[in-house]
Structure 1
Amino acid sequence: MKHHIFLLSGLVALVSGCGFPMSAVAQSATISAEQPESDADRALQALYEAEWEWSLQEFAEETDENGRSEPTDHLPSVTPEAQARRLAYWTDVLAQLEKIDVDRLSPEERINYAVFRTKIAADANNLRYKRYERPFNSDTFFWGGLNPRTPPSEADEYRKLLGRMRDIPRYFDENIENMRAGLARGFTVPKVSTLGRDETIVPYTDLGSDNPFMKTFMNIPDSVPAAERKRLAAEAEQVVRDIVAPAYAKLLTFMREDYIPSANEDIMAENLPDGPAFYQSQIREYTTLDMTAEDIHELGLKEVARIRADMDATIAETGFDGSFEEFLEFLRTDPQFYAKTPKELLSFSAYVAKRVDGKLKDLFTVLPRYRFTVLPVPDELAPIYTSGRGGLESCLMNTYDLPSRPLYNLTALTLHECVPGHSHQAAMALEAPDRPDFRRQTYFSGYGEGWGLYCEWLGTVLGVYDTPYEEFGRQTFEMWRAARLVIDTGIHHYGWSRQQAIDYLLANTALARIDVENEIDRYIAWPGQALAYKLGEMTIRDLRAKAQAELGDDFDQRPFHDAIINMGSVPLDTLVAEMDRFIQEQKAGADAAP
């Protein structure tokens, strides 16, 4: 599996064009790029450029015209020998990084150093704890994502896909052996987070046209000549029948007969081998902050209490006469809050996204050209998937079980996942000017998910929450992320039961039960990741408050947002340091103005 395990790709750096002026941070980056390089700069550049070329070979990737990595015609090796080789390489990289004098780096290379070192340290830690022996979680799987979400556009891309499809049996066998090793030492995905996940394999065991891979080859665009389309589809039919479907069937048997029955009943990460150290490493990876589980838990309890007061005020605004619990029951059961068809739900999300499009000029000085679409979560994933997930090409909305998909949450969800959240972030990254290639592939959850949650709050600034119910939906999403601080640490450090976590989330948010259960199973299977959202958002909100206090009437949110987005995905401590510099530069500029 690729070493950026379970991380979204992309999200980085400066953005171009569309006729808008270059932001202040973009200008300063351009100026710094023209400054003479130091020996420290050159040493760092040599190190991350070499690692990038090495990683392309290691993980069966190549770069496209935008410097982004994409898969080649085979899948990477995931054997223990390959993992040991990678750990040795990254350990050496970290040792070489220690020799570089950070104080002698130029401003841009200082950011590159922080990003590179944090990323490599996380990669190495995951190998030290052999996280590859747990190569999936509750909604992200090594057997998923092999079939493209949207069909490729070139014949050569289909030929590479066919090569990867032929390599699936070997790739699955290596993962199965790793999972057997995990079973032997008690390092597994907790059983409760595996239940039903075998069903996501079933569609790929089909020998014919209903196999999702075949659907991809039935939708080859007309830009590929007809004869070539016919040849590719015929070849895919044979590969699916003789290679792909049998490999998925073998994996399905292993999951049902060996892995799921023997997976850990215990859900606490600190009870795994080297559990306390492993959980702390996951906290560090996902938050990029040096915080303890105890500190995070206490912070979460304070945020839950604060947001609850906001929610009570919004309930009063609706005129509802009843308790908090009765209001939640009203929201969960009244038909006025639910779409009657999948298209209605998708249309609501698309409408929100388009409304926000018209307000982006108030948020940024630079906008991307790349467009995304709104799609339903694929049927084979929908029952166990989150409510939505955004990316460069599409923003997925879950239309499964519509009575559990309230529309009052959808405005906040669209802001987070689509625009100005993740899909917007990814488009900005795609159109970035020159930055090191590794920066285009590095994503830190604290930065990325913190921005997504901050975008939900930005909806209050933009005036897109039309009713108190939609505002309550935003608050319930904020409460959801605050409750995660309590729940994740509660499960993995304090030993909470699954039911205790479910009850806590149900009692404090208006999330539907199916969402609550899926989310809790996700936190159980993915220690630490749920902490990133609220800690990242609080960091950005604190920076905004500081900028407003320092700049007063001279504060303009557009360059402030440019500075954050243009920096790309960085550790939160780096974000704070660089934004502090930005604030002081803005203040100096305002003071110098006539």
Structure 2
Amino acid sequence: MDSWTVKAAVLAVLFIPMSGNSQTAAAKLNQLADRFVDQQLQYDPTLAYSYGFPTRDHSHFADRSPQALSVHDQEEREDLTALLALPVASLAQSDRATYVNLRERLESDLQLRVCKTELWNVNHFDGWQSEFAEVAERQPVDSAEERKQALRRWRSMPQYLDVEIANLRVGLSLHYSVPQSVVRRVIQQMNTLVVVDPRQSVFYSPAKRSGNAAFQNAFRQIVANRINPALKSYRDFLQTEYLPKAREGVAISDLPNGAACYQAFLRSSTTLERTPEEIYDLGEKTVRENVAEIAKIGEAKYGSTDLPKIVAKIKSNPVEHFRSKDDLLNFSQQFLQQAKEVTAEQLITGMPEQDVVIQPLSPFEEDAGVGSRFQRQPDPGKPAVFLIKLGDWSTETRSDAEIVTIHETVPGHYLQQALARQLQPATRLSKLIDNDAYAEGWARYAETMGEEAKIYDTEDAAVMRRLWPARGMVVDPGLHALHWTRQQAVDYMVSSGHFSADAANDYIDRIAVMPGQLTSYDTGGLEIKALRAEAQARLGARFDLRRFNRAVLDEGVVPLGELRSHLAAWIADELSQK
């Protein structure tokens, strides 16, 4: 029994309902949770747009100065101290998710402080530039007061970037930086973001959505005279001062306290206390199993057990390829409708009320090597969005497109997040909390269900689906902890048959700026599969896949240890039913 299983068992014992002061403890817990949410929103009010919080504060971005970060850290330390002082055993079962989620978030945040991420925050994948583009799309401008606050916020963007530059300069002096390859990608993004006509800026959305001529003119002046010059200054700083001093290697172990930092990122991504070596070994084992399954499929269908030959046969089939970007987009949109129908029929008891649509990824993100991604929409009256990368249409197969669509939409991310909003406890904390082990784990599990439920139309999806899973558990710790070279990582990824060399290099830079994140997909996916196998073994003929999937989702996003405890209780309840 590994350490996280022990932790789950201990939590299950701690949450045995008891009489006494449970109401008082629950009230204190909810007060702590609300205080934590308030602190997060006060620090960064733009979180309200992503997570669906009502707010009247639309006037500023997060304060990333050393002083503000220090205050924020101290608040979280005080929150954790207060949380750990609660009489946990007196909390009712219904309060379990709130307690474990708040504890996991606080402990993980504080553990990550060893990384000093503000000192090397140059990120092409999900950096401030992508976040600000989304904020611009969601900045409210209906009332005079909202327009006033919008002008104040976007006038402050140069100050925000001044703080970023100051932090990065301190980082360089203390030997913190990102790889040069990442810096070049961000410079490329800055070049794309600076446009001659302010009305074409990705940050111009507030003015586009307002019919007020005076506001439009004022905002256009802000983009032309403040935002564009600030972007140029940031780009020039990266080009002339930062890039020459940035590190060449990718490994986080190259940074001060690198080993402890990577362990903190692994905990944050997986919600477990596994070592890099443990994750690497499990990944290798799973990859071997996937390759063996591909060999069986290949022998039966193609007369070969050789992975490169099998993949080459699939990719050389003209039927597998698209004719244009529009062809890829239309194919994915039509496939989404099919996935919705099969999922509703076979995989879940009740589909989300919110819809989901597919739209192209923004050019400035795609040009910098950012991949397809799901974008949550906190307003249930508006559809969530799968932002699809179209630039690789000539090399992407139809199988790949199907797999990505299932992962990002149905029964993947969209289904999980939309149902979580409907099913999980209606607390403010539940809106804010997320973790990749659960969310990406569910999406990886969804890929498997796509095959089981015969959602995939293409025959080759069974092979293509098995090429990549678990390899992130190998290459991520390989690079960051086990001293792999960049070329070694590229060769490993290309050997999977899933990546070209260019695509592999894109992923290497993603691994560089998001350490540990690629280990979360299969850490969570393997756990959900294991829990399903346990449920099937114990319930036998009583096992219902749609009910099991609903049970996985109905507590909302939780750490993996809590998911195991929750499903153990669900199995017991199912067994008790006549």
1:236 is paired with a residue whose SS is helix
Of the structure 1 ranges 124-133 and 544-553, higher mean CA displacement relative to structure 2 is found in 124-133
Residue of structure 1 equivalent to 2:123: 137
Q: Is the 8 A contact 1:213 1:240 kept in 2?
A: no
1:144 is paired with a residue whose SS is helix
Of the structure 1 ranges 307-316 and 132-141, higher mean CA displacement relative to structure 2 is found in 132-141
Match of residue 545, structure 2, among 551, 554, 557: 557
Of the structure 1 ranges 96-105 and 125-134, higher mean CA displacement relative to structure 2 is found in 125-134
Residue of structure 1 equivalent to 2:216: 233
Match of residue 436, structure 1, among 427, 443, 448: 427
Residue of structure 2 equivalent to 1:213: 202
- Compute the displacement of 1:39 (Å): 2.5
The letter for the 1-side match of 2:31 is A
Q: Is the 8 A contact 1:204 1:211 kept in 2?
A: no
Distance 2:294 2:185 in 1: 34
> Given the two structures, how large is their TM-score scaled by the length of structure 1?
0.87
- Compute the displacement of 1:550 (Å): 0.8
The letter for the 2-side match of 1:363 is L
1:173-188 matches, within 5 Å, as: 173-188=162-177
1:85-96 matches, within 5 Å, as: 85-96=71-82
Shift of the 386–588 alpha-carbon distance from structure 1 to 2, 3 Å rule, reads: farther
Distance 2:425 2:474 in 1: 40
Residue of structure 2 equivalent to 1:414: 405
Bigger relative contact order, structure 1 or 2 (CA pairs below 8 A, ≥6 apart):
1
Q: Is the 8 A contact 2:122 2:186 kept in 1?
A: no
- Compute the displacement of 1:289 (Å): 0.8
Q: Is the 8 A contact 2:161 2:230 kept in 1?
A: yes
Calculate percent identity across the aligned residue pairs.
24
Residue of structure 1 equivalent to 2:381: none
Q: Is the 8 A contact 1:293 1:489 kept in 2?
A: yes
Distance 2:483 2:531 in 1: 34
Match of residue 464, structure 2, among 457, 473, 476: 473
Gaps of 5+ in 2: 1-16, 377-383
- Compute the displacement of 1:149 (Å): 7.7
The letter for the 2-side match of 1:554 is R
CA-based RMSD of the aligned residues comes to 2.4
Distance 1:391 1:64 in 2: 12
- Compute the displacement of 1:334 (Å): 4.7
The letter for the 1-side match of 2:61 is L
Q: Is the 8 A contact 1:391 1:422 kept in 2?
A: no
2:339 is paired with a residue whose SS is helix
Distance 1:181 1:304 in 2: 41
Q: Is the 8 A contact 2:124 2:189 kept in 1?
A: no
| Deviation by residue 1:53-86 (Cα, 9 ceiling, x = unmatched) | 2222122358589853677221111001111111
The letter for the 1-side match of 2:29 is L
1:41 is the counterpart of 2:26:
yes
Residue of structure 1 equivalent to 2:442: 451
Q: Is the 8 A contact 1:364 1:559 kept in 2?
A: yes
**How many pairs align?**
548
Shift of the 111–340 alpha-carbon distance from structure 1 to 2, 3 Å rule, reads: same
Distance 2:354 2:149 in 1: 25
Of the structure 1 ranges 68-77 and 46-55, higher mean CA displacement relative to structure 2 is found in 68-77
1:196 is paired with a residue whose SS is helix
Distance 1:213 1:191 in 2: 25
The letter for the 1-side match of 2:360 is P
1:481 is paired with a residue whose SS is coil
Q: Is the 8 A contact 1:359 1:462 kept in 2?
A: yes
Match of residue 122, structure 1, among 96, 108, 130: 108
1:357 is the counterpart of 2:334:
no
- Compute the displacement of 1:271 (Å): 2.9
1:108 is the counterpart of 2:94:
yes
Distance 1:173 1:65 in 2: 25
Residue of structure 1 equivalent to 2:36: 51
2:358 is paired with a residue whose SS is strand
The letter for the 1-side match of 2:362 is P
2:63 is paired with a residue whose SS is coil
- Compute the displacement of 1:240 (Å): 0.6
Q: Is the 8 A contact 1:200 1:381 kept in 2?
A: yes
Distance 1:273 1:385 in 2: 28
Distance 1:369 1:291 in 2: 37
- Compute the displacement of 1:158 (Å): 5.8
The letter for the 2-side match of 1:327 is I
Gaps of 5+ in 1: 1-31
The letter for the 1-side match of 2:73 is L
Distance 1:69 1:468 in 2: 47
1:380 is paired with a residue whose SS is helix
Q: Is the 8 A contact 2:59 2:153 kept in 1?
A: yes
Residue of structure 1 equivalent to 2:268: 285
1:572-591 matches, within 5 Å, as: 572-589=560-577
